[in-house]
Each structure stands twice: as C-alpha cells, then as structure tokens.
Structure 1
Amino acid sequence: MHKVNRGIKPKSLNDNATKWTRELLVQVPLNKTFTDIPSKYVNKYKQEDVKQVLTQMYEGLCCYCESPIGVQTYEQIEHLKPKSIFPRFCFEWNNLHLSCQICNISYKKANWDNDNPILDPTVDNIEDFIEIDLESGEIIPISNNERANTTIEHTGLNRVNLVKRRNSIIIIMKKLLKIAVNANEIEEFKEILETMSVDMGYKLLFSSFIKKI
C-alpha cells in the first residue's frame, strides 16, 4: 500500500449518489440479507467515470497489494467500509477504491474491524504504519500497530505468491545495486528504480529500497 491523493468526485456520483443511496436504504429492510437486494439498487457505483478516476488515482495498481491490474486480474471497485455492513456508504466517493480481484474477493470480502479499521490509502500516511522487510519481502506492522495488523490480515498482504513476487524484485534490485555501485552511478540507479515502480507497481517496496541505499 502507498499514500494516494483522492481524485475529484466523478459526475455520476455527484449527480446521483444521494438518490441511489435513498433507494438502496429503502430496500435494506425489505430483504433478508444484503445479497438478496436486487443488483440494480446496489451496483450503480460501477460507472465508467468512477473507474476512470480510481484508475488514475492508483495508476492502475491495486490499492492494497499494489500489483498491476489488467494483466492477470480484472479491476474491481472496492468499498473500504463493506457495503453490506455500511449500505449508506455504498455510493460514497470517499469509500471507493481500486482493487484487484484477489485482495477484494479472496481476502477483504466484508471484513471490518471497528476498533482497528483497515488503513485508507487516501487518508492515512501508510509508511507510518507498515514497512517492508527487504530480506523476506514481507509487510511488517510498525511498532506492532493494530490497524497495520488488521490491514495485513484482511487484505492478505503477506500471502505466499505476493511475498514471492516482492522477494524476486528485491533480489533483482540488489543485483542491479551492485552494478550501480561498481559503476559509481547510484543516483542514476535511483532514477531507474523510480521508473520501474511506475511500470511494475509495488511502490512501497521500491520507495523503501531507495531510502535504504
């Protein structure tokens, strides 16, 4: 995860969110569970302009694992506060993020901890809460912060394949660093890493490595 700036509220939400919310909340007591509510009342946040702004915000990366979206997984509009628990925030712009399918469906789901809520990349300074172990590739909570622990657990930030991917990037960067040191081109190498983070994702990993150099 990394800090991002929230984009301007899309026109579709600006024009319709209040109405859509009112219609959805009418349906909640009429249905046994949230999943029983007809999709036409729930899925109106899936607007093209919403996807476009979120994609620009996150530069095409998952808001949680920072993996590039579109190569091996489709993007999903994620509700930080689960819509099934907080239906009043279903169309709330500040609650919408861009996520990969694995983080959203396999891990995040409807998980929510009121006492120690998951980190919000548009609000929280992520590097105050988590860091990356540049030896193992694992995400570590700073000072065992409980919100960091919640975030790691609820989004699967240390799932096996993800850690392997980060670790493989670390190995490559260390090899390139040796070459840069021998060539006395450290500053140029930092610029290369910054460019790589745009194409490869995993911005927290790249920024952490650059700081360690």
Structure 2
Amino acid sequence: MIPLQRPQLRGRLAAELTRRTEVLRTSGATTATGRAAWRDARDTKARLRTLLHGMAPGLVRCMYCGDSLGTDIDHFEPIARAPLRTFDWHNHLLACAYCNSNLKRDQFPCDPVTGAHLLIDPSREDPADHLLLYLESGAYQGLTAKGRTTIDVFGLNARGELVRGRRLAFTVVKALLREWHQHSGVSPATARELADALAMLWQADVFRAVVRLARTPSLAETVLGPDAHAALGQLACLDERFT
C-alpha cells in the first residue's frame, strides 16, 4: 500500500453524488436500497472510476494489494454497514476483484473499545505508519493494530504470489536503478525511460519503500548496492517522484 491523493470533487459529479445521497436519505437508506441505487448508477460509476484510475498506483493497480488490475469500485465502509455512504466520494477506493469480492467483502473490523476502524485507508493516511515492508523477503510487518488487521483481511502475507511479486519487484528496482546510473550522463532519453519505468512499477509499495530507505544512507547503500544507491540519490535531486 502507498498513500494516495484524492482529488476534490466539483461541478456535476459532486452535485450528482449529493443528489443520490439525499434520495437515499429521504427514502430510508438500507442495505437493499443502497445496493439497488448503486447498481443502477452506471454513468455515475463510470465517472467515479475515471477519477479513481487517476489516483491508483502504478498502472491502475488495486489500492489494497497493489498487484492486480483495479477493476472494482470498493466501498471502504461497506454499504451493508453504512448505506448512506453509498455515494460518498471519500468512501470509494479502486480494488481488484479478488481483494474486493473474495477477501474484504462486507468486512469492516473496528476496535471493540474505541470503535475506530482497523483497516488502512490509503487516501486518508500513510500506510507506512502502520506497515513495514521487508524488501528482501517481500513480507509485511504490522506496526499497529490497524496494520496487522489490514495484513490479515487482504492476505498481504498469506498470498504467496504477492510476497514473491514484491521480492521480484525489489530485484527489478535495483536493476533499473543500476541501469539508470549507467545511462544518466550519456543517454538522457534512455535515462528518462528508465525513471518512468521505476515510477510506474506494478508494485508501487516496493518502489516507495526503496525511496524511504534512502533516508538512511548507510543502510540504503548496504541493501541496494553502491550504484543503485547513488542513482537513487541523484534521481531524488531531479525528480519529485523519487523523494
């Protein structure tokens, strides 16, 4: 998971979401009426999906696992729990079908004492405050109750393909950084292409973890190797995507 920037809604779409929410409120919002209204809102969902695609990490990846194509608009707080949030823009995230339909479904764990939800919303908080990614193993450690619950609900460590994918992505990141280091002074076009490939990597959480690693130079050089570490430092001076 990586933090996501949610654009502010204006104009027709904002008005449409408000109108649909008021219709639900007036008619009596229930799980059934919320789901029926959502099912029938094809044009509204298409516009929402376009905005979510722009927010998504990498090449339209799932905002939860970061690995698969984001195909579904997930209600972070499920319609079954909060039907009045069916058309709440701040309650919409892009998910792959597996995370949305197979794993999360209507789950929304909450702290039994405080009532606070225990899933990370990457559009409202930095997942790195709750999750630590071990680059060489590809596994996550939960730093908080919210981090541990998110790992469990989305199977971030239990799904072997995710762990192997993150481990492979780390190898790819190091290779691309070394390649960029070789071309940065002699082939600007190739260097730009390599930088774009890094920034659009399918496992954006791996790339972000590498960037965060650069804050500890001695550890970064040990983990990345001298050429990849040097490239990361140079890229940070040239491109805000690497800071």
Q: Would you say same fold, with TM above 0.5?
A: yes
Partner in structure 2 of residue 4 of structure 1: 4
1:62 aligned to 2:58?
no
Given the two structures, how large is their TM-score scaled by the length of structure 1? Answer: 0.77
1:150 aligned to 2:149?
yes
Aligned residue identity for 1:15: A
Q: Report how far residue 88 of structure 1 moved.
A: 1.0
Partner in structure 1 of residue 48 of structure 2: 50
2:180/2:194 contact within 8 Å kept: no
Partner in structure 2 of residue 196 of structure 1: 197
1:95 aligned to 2:96?
no
Mapped partners of 1:174, 1:135: distance in 2: 11
Mapped partners of 1:86, 1:148: distance in 2: 23
| 98-107 vs 17-26, which moves further | 17-26
How many residue pairs are counted as aligned between the two chains? Answer: 198
Mapped partners of 2:166, 2:192: distance in 1: 19
Task: For residues 5-39 of structure 1, give each alpha carbon's deviation from its aligned partner in whole angstroms, at most 9, with x where no partner exists.
Answer: 1112264541222332243353555xxxx3x5485
2:34/2:84 contact within 8 Å kept: no
1:10/1:49 contact within 8 Å kept: no
Mapped partners of 1:55, 1:150: distance in 2: 26
Judging changes above 3 Å, is the alpha-carbon distance between structure 1 residues 191 and 124 closer, same or farther for their aligned structure 2 residues?
Answer: farther
1:12/1:47 contact within 8 Å kept: no
Aligned residue identity for 1:147: K
1:10/1:50 contact within 8 Å kept: no
Judging changes above 3 Å, is the alpha-carbon distance between structure 1 residues 28 and 133 closer, same or farther for their aligned structure 2 residues?
Answer: same
| 78-87 vs 6-15, which moves further | 6-15
Aligned residue identity for 2:149: T
RMSD value, Cα? 3.0
Mapped partners of 1:198, 1:184: distance in 2: 17
Percent of paired sites with the same residue:
23
Task: For residues 173-204 of structure 1, give each alpha carbon's deviation from its aligned partner in whole angstroms, at most 9, with x where no partner exists.
Answer: 455667789x698xx9x988753343322222
Aligned residue identity for 1:87: P
Unaligned runs of 5+ in 2: 112-116, 214-219, 221-228, 230-243
Judging changes above 3 Å, is the alpha-carbon distance between structure 1 residues 89 and 42 closer, same or farther for their aligned structure 2 residues?
Answer: same
Judging changes above 3 Å, is the alpha-carbon distance between structure 1 residues 41 and 165 closer, same or farther for their aligned structure 2 residues?
Answer: same
Task: For residues 73-126 of structure 1, give each alpha carbon's deviation from its aligned partner in whole angstroms, at most 9, with x where no partner exists.
Answer: x61111111111111111001111111111111111111112242111111122
Q: How does 1:168-187 map to 2 (within 5 A)?
A: 168-174=168-174
| 166-175 vs 95-104, which moves further | 166-175
Unaligned runs of 5+ in 1: none
SS at match of 2:200: helix
| 200-209 vs 165-174, which moves further | 165-174
1:82/1:112 contact within 8 Å kept: yes
| 82-91 vs 37-46, which moves further | 37-46
Given the two structures, how large is their TM-score scaled by the length of structure 2? Answer: 0.69
SS at match of 1:121: coil
Q: Report how far residue 52 of structure 1 moved.
A: 0.9
Judging changes above 3 Å, is the alpha-carbon distance between structure 1 residues 197 and 99 closer, same or farther for their aligned structure 2 residues?
Answer: farther
Judging changes above 3 Å, is the alpha-carbon distance between structure 1 residues 77 and 173 closer, same or farther for their aligned structure 2 residues?
Answer: same
Mapped partners of 1:198, 1:180: distance in 2: 13
Q: How does 1:68-107 map to 2 (within 5 A)?
A: 69=69, 75-107=71-103
Larger RCO (alpha carbons 8 Å, 6+ apart)? 1
Q: Report how far residue 50 of structure 1 moved.
A: 0.9
Mapped partners of 1:169, 1:106: distance in 2: 25
